[in-house]
Amino acid sequence: MRFEKPVPVQWIADFIDAELAGNVNGEVTGINEIHKVEKGDIVFVDHPKYYNVCIHSAADYIIINKKTDFPEGKALLVVADPFEAYLKLVNHFRPFVPSMKTISDTAKIGKETVIMPNTYIGNHVFIGDNCIIHPNVTILDHCIIGNNVIIQAGTVIGSDAFYYNKKANRDIHYKKMASCGRVIIEDYVELGAGCTIDRGVSGDTIIGAGTKIDNMVHIGHDTLIGKNCLFAAQVGIAGASTIEENVILWGQVGVSKTLTIGKGAVLYAQSGVPASLEGGKNYFGSPAIEAKEKMKELVWIKRIPELWEKVLGKKDN
């Protein structure tokens, strides 16, 4: 999440009651979680396993629960519970503000765009020109829809990320990590009926221009989808993955988190993707491998009874 204007790190330290060390005169330009940090960001870390990754990331300001070494020019904000400090900042800079109107007064809708009945459009939503928004669509706060976009009935854009902070010493082990990111849908995208697209935890979920998505597709938080992709029904993509341009995912393909599918890759129906895949190739299976290799494998699997009979026959002789 970008702040509207830079915020002095000293103000943030006072606000979350943190001990400040390092660059005490710095200015924070945004808040992000570790997968999405940029220069000027503030980020939190509460486990020693991730201290080094977080401190040496692009973030300049680190909310942490223990003093440790850090590079020159950065700053540590030491607090007892970094996660709670993160939540306090998110709720301050992007608080939940209910809108009880079908279309919020702060929403902006472009020329020649059609909004059909029972559609809900939240606070600070922007919708471009020549769009068609079918009935019962929900577009939640701060989401951005480009020009010439079609959204079929029942689709939800901007629902919260499925993202929780786990601590075994709490009565409730999983505590919700507030989502302050957005969904950005670029020009000429089409979304089918009953799709769900989660907003970023602190960054943006982006659907690239010209991408076409079938019914009942789920796209997780902070996922980046390139231009001119094609997703068939019941595809599911977990959080913070990158799908490059011209990728085709046929029906019921499942994609795991924080991986990349390269430009021009094609995944055949019901494939499962647990790790990154090169572009320009066809894949099939779970775990997905190159389709031609998987087809050979299936041929050999069909021959197992025949081969087994031959083995048993040799033993009888």
Taking the chain, what is the end-to-end CA distance rounded to the nearest angstrom?
74
The answer to whether residues 272 and 289 touch, using CB atoms and an 8 Å cutoff, is: no
d(CA 84, CA 23): 23
Q: Which of 104-118, 143-157, 160-174 has the lowest mean pLDDT?
A: 160-174
pLDDT at 135 over 90: yes
Quick one: how many helices (H) and strands (E) in the chain? 5, 34
pLDDT at 317 over 60: no
Residue 136 is encoded by which pair of tokens? 């019962």
With vertex at residue 114, the alpha carbon angle to CA 250 and CA 235, rounded to the nearest 5 degrees, is 15
Q: Kindly report, residue by residue over 262-310, the tens digit of the pLDDT.
A: 999 999 999 999 999 999 999 999 999 999 999 998 898 888 888 888 8
What is the CATH number assigned to the segment(s) 2-93?
3.40.1390.10
Phi, psi of 169 (to 5 degrees): -85, 5
| Known catalytic residue at 221 | yes
Position 313 scores a pLDDT of 75
pLDDT at 315 over 60: no
Percent of the chain with pLDDT over 90: 88
Domain layout of the chain by residue ranges: 2-93, 108-292
What does pTM read for this prediction? 0.92
Q: Which of 134, 142, 218, 221 is catalytic?
A: 221
The answer to whether residues 63 and 85 touch, using CB atoms and an 8 Å cutoff, is: yes
What is the CATH number assigned to the segment(s) 108-292?
2.160.10.10
